[in-house]
Amino acid sequence: MTLNIFFLTITINKRKMSIDDAVHQEMVEKLYEKSKDQQISMRHFM
C-alpha cells in the first residue's frame, strides 16, 4: 500500500491600492455602469 501526501499552503495578501489606482478603478466602474445602462435602454427600443 502506498500513501502519497502532498501539502500546499497558499497565502493571499490584499493588495494595497494607491490613490491613483483607486481613482482609475472608480472611473472604470462608472464607465462600465454607464455603458450597461445604455445597452439596457437600447434594448427597450428594439
Which pLDDT belongs to residue 46? Answer: 62
For 16-46, the pLDDT digits (tens) are 889 999 999 999 999 999 999 888 887 766 6
- Separation CA 34–CA 40 (nearest Å): 10
Residue type, 12: I
Give mean pLDDT, residues 3-26: 89
Helical (H) or strand (E) element with 21? helix 19-45
The dihedral through the CA atoms of 28, 33, 38, 40 has a sign that is positive
Q: Report whether 25 contacts 17 (CB < 8 A).
A: yes
Q: Which three cell numbers stand for residue 22?
A: 483607486
